[in-house]
Structure 1
Amino acid sequence: MSAAPLLSVENLDIAMRLPDGGRLPIVKDLSLTLQAGDTLGIVGESGSGKSLLSLAVMGLLPPAAIASGRILLEGRDLMALDDDGMSQVRGRRIGMIFQEPMTALNPAMTVGDQIAEGLVRHEKLSWKAAREAAVDLLDRVRIPDPRARARAYPHQMSGGQRQRVGIAIAVAMRPALMIADEPTTALDVTVQAEVLEILDDLCAREGMALMLISHDLGVIARMCARTLVLYAGRRMEEGDTRGVLTEPMNPYTRGLLRAVPRRRVDGAPLDTIPGTVPGFARLPEGCVFSDRCGDVVAACRAGEPAWTQPRPNRGVRCIRAQQEMPA
């Protein structure tokens, strides 16, 4: 019998309240599971709902958002918790690394105190003990001279060092689940590789599950065992990362892979997906990707495709993919 998943998102819908009293659906019928120690990559263009999903798991959706469905962490329904209940989960059971560390960190506090704060609140350590633990955490994320750097403010550190501070804060209480939302976007390639290595090492050492959100398919291929592709708030494809990236079933996934920058000796322009992600108030009829898809047929516009699982641990939402499946 397989173990119960660490995280289970069941039929999650997220809509935004409009000034006229209406609702604008954003995320629709999204489900996923994540086992303890597993790694899941979430990809898709900006506006696909990736960050909104992570905020829903953290209980940090904006006030205008209306969510339904269930988000179970270790069997506990997070959507049934009040603010006090979620504050006990954040940091302790779920850690989060944000995309831009300069805005995620408090400019008026030393980085050491920002790491120590959660340990004082949740672990009931004294400030002296928590500050010592912060120095150790800075050392673990490979910041040179950690005792001196613990007394620094965020503006006194480089972008790569600030992101390492963000990782130190996220892992301080050894959460069961780590969510990393574009953790390397603002970093140069060399620093990006170092940060990913640190994150990979810490997750493996602590046995944490990782949900990694990224535009970079190379990062996903390196870090994640499974991949979920989102578009316009819908699941488009999911499966083991190797299968999704080498044998994509959804035209949107194929478009993302073609658009990965490559060296071109012939001077030809880079491949792109035509058009842009539509606003949620202007989604096309039927398949949400139909207006940009080169494989569209009349059936694609007749109704939104159902989510199907053509084989174990592989799912897809696509009329054409369903038609091409063996009977």
Structure 2
Amino acid sequence: MKGETLLAVDRLTVSLHGSGNATSSVLRDVSFDLRPGETLGIVGESGSGKSLLALAIMGLLPTTASSGGRITFEGQNLLALSDDEMCRVRGNRIGMIFQEPGTALNPSMTVGDQVAEGLVWHRGMSWRAAHAEALRLLDRVRIADAGRRARTYPHEMSGGQRQRVGIAIALALEPALLIADEPTTALDVTVQAEVLDILDELIREQGMALIFVSHDLGVVARICERMIVMYAGRVMEEGATQAVLTDPFNPYTRSLLRAVPRRLERGQRLAAIPGAVPRFAHLPRGCAFSDRCPEREARCHEVDPPWISLPEGRGSRCIHDPGRETSR
């Protein structure tokens, strides 16, 4: 199933332009590859650039943004496509599940129409045939009484049901790549587990690649083979998920793992990373994590950390070199 590269993000940069000449670099030299059928997690604190990376791949950046580098998908540079050309890729070859289904779904359309719409426009199916397929998909994502639910509107469904509808829409056209942007964040633990089970089953059945954006390391460990860790718009670490979680190279990754909630004895305090992710318009000199890093040295505030490529597809961005330094 896995072979040649499906998606190659090469030195992607994204800048947001404000009033006057104000410009903020929000993604900086982001690079990674994804093969068919592979599952990749993208983790980091809120404000690290994870969702913006997903939107860049989908061609959904705001009009105030500009981008550079390359995003090559199935041999095409997505950044060079026209709006019409990108519309033929988006939803058809690349599907996306959004973080908040309550705002992603159209409140004025029934959920059946929303699942069927892509089949009509991309596959040329009749509305009757598309609705029949929509019912099958709603049943497949475990929505009870799919025939009745297809005639309801998003506001008449629970958060978990709306997220299932979002999954059905994203997978209706059997895309080669699915991007899931924190799809379980707003759900309770029980519903979250059910949605993850559905997502995992469908991805394996259809053999598609997955990019799973999350701040939850436990969820990423469950569903992703590889992961990248982002901070302040840059990739800080990359590697096989279990290898990164059990033997992290980067101080930021180690800090994230220490901050994962655990059962504590009475009187113990939860570990936390001091401070906050810097605003993109006010990034510090040197390493963006230096002000918060427990392993910082004086030069961390002055030297832009290099990308260190390591064996077995691993890598880290830090002046503390655990291997051999290469360019990226």
1:38 aligns with 2:56: no
Amino acid at match of 1:137: L
Where in structure 1 are there 5+ consecutive unaligned residues? none
Matched, 1:158 2:179: no
The one-character-per-residue Cα deviations of 1:243-262 (angstroms, maximum 9, x if unpaired) are 10000111110111111111
Shift of 1:18: 2.2
Counterpart-to-counterpart distance in 2, 1:196 and 1:171: 14
Asked whether 1:280 is paired with 2:287, we answer no
* Residue pairs, 1:88-237, within 5 angstroms: 88-237=88-237
Corresponding residue for residue 53 of structure 2: 53
Task: Summarize deviations over 1:207-238 as a string: whole Å, max 9, x none.
Answer: 01000001110000000000100000011000
1:295 is aligned to 295
Q: Which residue matches 2:256?
A: 256
Q: How many Å separate the matches in 1 of 2:170 and 2:15? A: 28
Aligned counterparts of 2:304 and 2:145: Cα–Cα separation in 1: 56
Aligned-partner Cα distance in 2 for 1:314–1:29: 17
TM value normalised by structure 1: 0.97
Q: CA RMSD in A?
A: 1.2
| Of 309-318 and 16-25, the range deviating more from structure 2 | 16-25
Aligned residue type for 1:32: F
Counterpart check, 1:27 vs 2:27: yes
Alignment partners' CA distance in 2, 1:100 and 1:18: 26
SS of the residue aligned with 1:265?
A: coil
Identity %: 61
CA distance in 1, matches of 2:248, 2:264: 23
Distance 1:185 1:219 in 2: 10
Larger mean CA deviation between 142-151 and 261-270 belongs to 261-270
Partner residue of 1:12?
A: 12
Residues matched between the structures, number: 324
Secondary structure in 1 aligned to 2:42? strand
User: How far apart, in 1, do the equivalents of 2:307 and 2:3 lie?
Assistant: 24
Distance 2:244 2:294 in 1: 19
Structure 1 counterpart of 2:186, one-letter code: A
Distance 1:77 1:35 in 2: 16
Unaligned runs of 5+ in 2: none
Range that drifts further, 26-35 or 304-313: 304-313
| Alignment-mate amino acid for residue 114 of structure 1 | Q
Classify the secondary structure of the residue corresponding to 2:291: helix
Map 1:61-80 → 2, pairs under 5 A: 61-80=61-80
Please state how far the C-alpha of 1:87 moved relative to its aligned partner. Answer: 0.5
Distance 2:162 2:44 in 1: 26
In structure 2, what is the Cα distance between the partners aligned to 1:312 and 1:99?
32
TM-score (norm: length of structure 2): 0.97
Please tell me whether the aligned partners of residues 23 and 281 of structure 2 are also in contact (alpha carbons under 8 angstroms): no
Q: Can you list the C-alpha shifts for 1:7-38, whole angstroms capped at 9, x where unaligned?
A: 00000000011211242111100001000000
- Return the alpha-carbon distance in structure 2 between the equivalents of residues 13 and 79 of structure 1: 11
- How far has the Cα of 1:91 moved from its partner? 1.0
Deviations along 1:158-188, one digit per CA (max 9) or x if unpaired, are: 1100000000000000000000000000000
Which consecutive aligned stretches of 4+ in structure 1 deviate over 3 angstroms post-superposition?
324-327
